[in-house]
Structure 1
Amino acid sequence: MTYSRPWLSFQQQLEQLKSRGMVITDDAAAIEYLERIGYYRLSGYWYPFRIFHAGKATDQFVDGTHFLDAVNLYLFDKKLRFLVLDALERIEISLRVDIAYLLGQRDIFAHIHVANFHPSFARKKRASGLTAFDEWVQKYRGLVSRSKEDFVRHYLETHGAELPVWVAIEVFDFGAISQLLSMMSVKDQQSVAAKYGINDWDVFRSWIYSLSYLRNIAAHHSRMWNRNNTSPPKLLTDSIWCKSFAQQQTLLAKPFVLLAITRELVKQVCPNTSWEQRVKSHLLQFPIQHSDKRLGLQGMGLPEDWQTWW
């Protein structure tokens, strides 16, 4: 299909919102937000206020929908992303150290030698003729070649064509770290997971994969507060907070469970952190709605008992 919607000036965007039933009490302020944030980005925050027929969103808004509510949701979400990035930075850096330390004592260039990883990643794929490990190494090479860091140039010019694992891991993004962890032997994954107080390596691996997804959302300034998870994480069977999500597929599909995982791991990295208090305080300041339709924290997938263990 050919895209047929026309370009609209900011004034035309404003008039279109009004024609669809949105209440705008200050035209000048609304246009300023459209100029600064953008119609398309804000549309993700007024989407829940649209009228749905047969499960499909129409262009019209529920009666009494206020433009200001979409803006306030955006601002709430923006601060939530900042809080998430603060915690994920600590977890990511800690993981880099732990993985590089473990692999490096066995092999300085462990990250490019397949023998250091689980045998399943050495099997060739029919379609490409490459192994999963080959594909990962290609990704790693790309990260090195695109890096603008001085330390990368220094090591390559001074010490040869390969970076030792404790240097190489500094060019990895969170996704590459998650991939590297998943390729490690079960024994090595158990060792890393134990450092974070997790007794199930498979659950830990799924957590790190989920957090790499969460980081991508935050780093790309995407909507977070009510987004659906693409791959729900696994749960520990002996954890009090995990029991709040057990057999709750609707909750596992929402972002709050990822905040709970972040809380669990950041406490292991920084035992004296106040991160969980700051997040709780922010959640409890969820924007007051002016619209007739009221949204709440339920859209994030909070269990009813979350405050008892958070």
Structure 2
Amino acid sequence: MPDESLARHYLSNISYFRLSAYTRAYYRSGGSHQFRPGTCFDDILDLYIFDRELRLLLLDAIERIEVALRSQLANTLAEHHGAHGYLQEGVFNDRYNYTWLYQKLAQPADGPLAETFLTHYRTRYKAAPAQPPIWMAVEILSFKEVSILFANLRKPDDRQRIEAHFGWKHPVLKSWFRSLSDLRNSCAHHARVWNREFGSRPEIPRKVNRPWPGIPSSIPVHSSYHPEQQIDPRRRLYAQVVVIEALLQVVSPQSLWAVKLQQLMERFPNVSRTHMGFPDEWQKLSFWQQAFGSMEGIE
């Protein structure tokens, strides 16, 4: 440990328990919890810093996708069913919990988290329903709640309009939005995303008419300490990163997000990409080459 006082500083502000999750990649095989020769504190700290910066980058992208979904859902339901038509049975599947939605959106507009627009709406439009118009409702609901509304759309016209905007079929999109809402919550609560197997995984589309990286079901870890270990990229971050970039190409085609992802990887060359499910030479795949190439000349 080159600087014990610096290590103590980080441990007092990060906590040993949180940092310990990043030490496991440096253990010897056999479950002895002994570090491999040559491992130092800076290796673990770099991995922690990389993960923190990666979370911020993910949040930046997911925010754009989330806002786009809110907009598409609000515009579609308002034009097809009216300002309050979303409250009518038949807009969503029968199994959807309408009672929960009514109660959630009828809650008092007070407290520290109160939205000014909701207070204004109820003050000015006293004869209107307590639940606000759909374009306000989607701003009150969380990303996960909005994704559940989208998943439960009953009318083909509603689904098809949003499908046309994003360029993917409803079953694929509802899987993607669900997974990204879970990933967003992990990032917002500062949970580790490196070397994590996620509970919900995005559906891999079967028919694709555009560049798409084949996501393998298994890749080797390439570790002399764990020579037999395999990782499923579909359950790791890589699958979600592919989904993010695919959606950003629609909602923010001028985004430099893919370039920033590559730059982050290059700044931390010792961080294992395999533990995130990234295949060897992932950046050379046509999907990513197109993403990087579309950024040429953009500042």
Q: TM-score range by the shorter chain?
A: 0.7 to 0.9
Question: Contact 1:226–1:299 at 8 Å: present in 2 too?
Answer: yes
1:67 equivalenced with 2:49 (yes/no)? no
Gaps of 5+ in 2: 219-230, 289-299
Give distance in 2, aligned partners of 1:143 and 1:34.
43
TM-score normalised per structure 2: 0.81
Partner of 1:215: 184
The answer for the alignment partner of 1:25 in structure 2 is: 2
CA distance in 1, matches of 2:278, 2:176: 18
Which segments of 5 or more consecutive residues in structure 1 lack a partner in the other structure?
1-23, 122-131, 289-294
Query: By how many angstroms is 1:287 displaced?
Result: 4.3
How far apart, CA to CA, are the structure 2 residues paired with 1:241 and 1:134? Answer: 42
Q: Which residue of 1 aligns with 2:294?
A: none
In the alignment, the residues of structure 2 paired with residue 177 and residue 117 of structure 1 have an alpha-carbon distance, to the nearest angstrom, of 12
Contact 1:117–1:183 (CA under 8 A) maintained in structure 2: yes
The offset of 1:151, in angstroms, is: 1.5
CA distance in 1, matches of 2:193, 2:28: 22
1:191 to 153, 161, 165: 161
Match of 2:25 among 22, 41, 48: 48
What is the CA distance between 1:173 and its match in structure 2?
1.4
Q: Aligned-pair RMSD on alpha carbons? A: 2.3
How far is the alpha carbon of 1:296 from its aligned partner? Answer: 1.3
Tell me the distance in 2 between the aligned counterparts of 1:306 and 1:93: 28
C-alpha contact (below 8 Å) 1:286/1:296 kept by paired residues: no
Q: What code does the residue aligned with 1:227 have?
A: R
- In the aligned structure 2, how far is the partner of 1:42 from the partner of 1:142? 40
Partner of 1:37: 14
Aligned length: 267
Partner of 1:271: 253
CA contact (8 A) 2:195 2:236 kept: yes
Structure that is richer in helix per residue? 1
Q: Is the 8 A contact 2:102 2:131 kept in 1?
A: no
Q: Within the alignment, does 1:118 sit opposite 2:93 as a pair?
A: yes
1:196–1:265 contact (8 Å) kept in structure 2: yes
* Partner Cα distance (1:241, 1:143) in 2: 48
Distance 1:68 1:144, change over 3 A: farther
Q: 1:203 to 1:158 in 2, by over 3 A?
A: same
Q: Tell me which residue corresponds to 1:235.
A: 204
For the residue of structure 2 that corresponds to 1:84, the secondary structure is: helix
Residue of structure 2 equivalent to 1:175: 144
Length-normalised TM-score, structure 1:
0.78
Q: Describe how 1:113-152 pairs up with structure 2 within 5 A.
A: 113-121=88-96, 132-140=97-105, 147-152=113-118
CA 1:50–1:145 in structure 2 vs 1: closer, same or farther (change >3 Å)? farther
Alpha-carbon offset, residue 143 of structure 1: 9.9
User: What's the offset of the Cα at 1:243?
Assistant: 5.0
How far apart are the structure 2 equivalents of 1:205 and 1:302? Answer: 24
Aligned to 1:250: 232
- Aligned 8 A contact 2:216 2:233 in 1: no
Give the structure 1 partner of residue 279 of structure 2. Answer: 303
* Cα distance in structure 2, aligned partners of 1:172 and 1:143: 14
CA contact 1:178–1:209 (8 Å) conserved in 2: yes
In structure 2, C-alpha distance between the alignment counterparts of 1:207 and 1:143, rounded to whole Å: 32
- Does structure 1 conserve the Cα–Cα contact (< 8 Å) formed by 2:56 and 2:187? yes
- How many percent of aligned residue pairs carry the same amino acid? 31
How big is each residue's C-alpha offset from its partner over 1:184-217, in whole Å with a ceiling of 9 and x where there is no partner?
Answer: 126222321220111x210111001111011011
CA contact (8 A) 1:144 1:171 kept: no
**Paired residue for 1:82?**
56
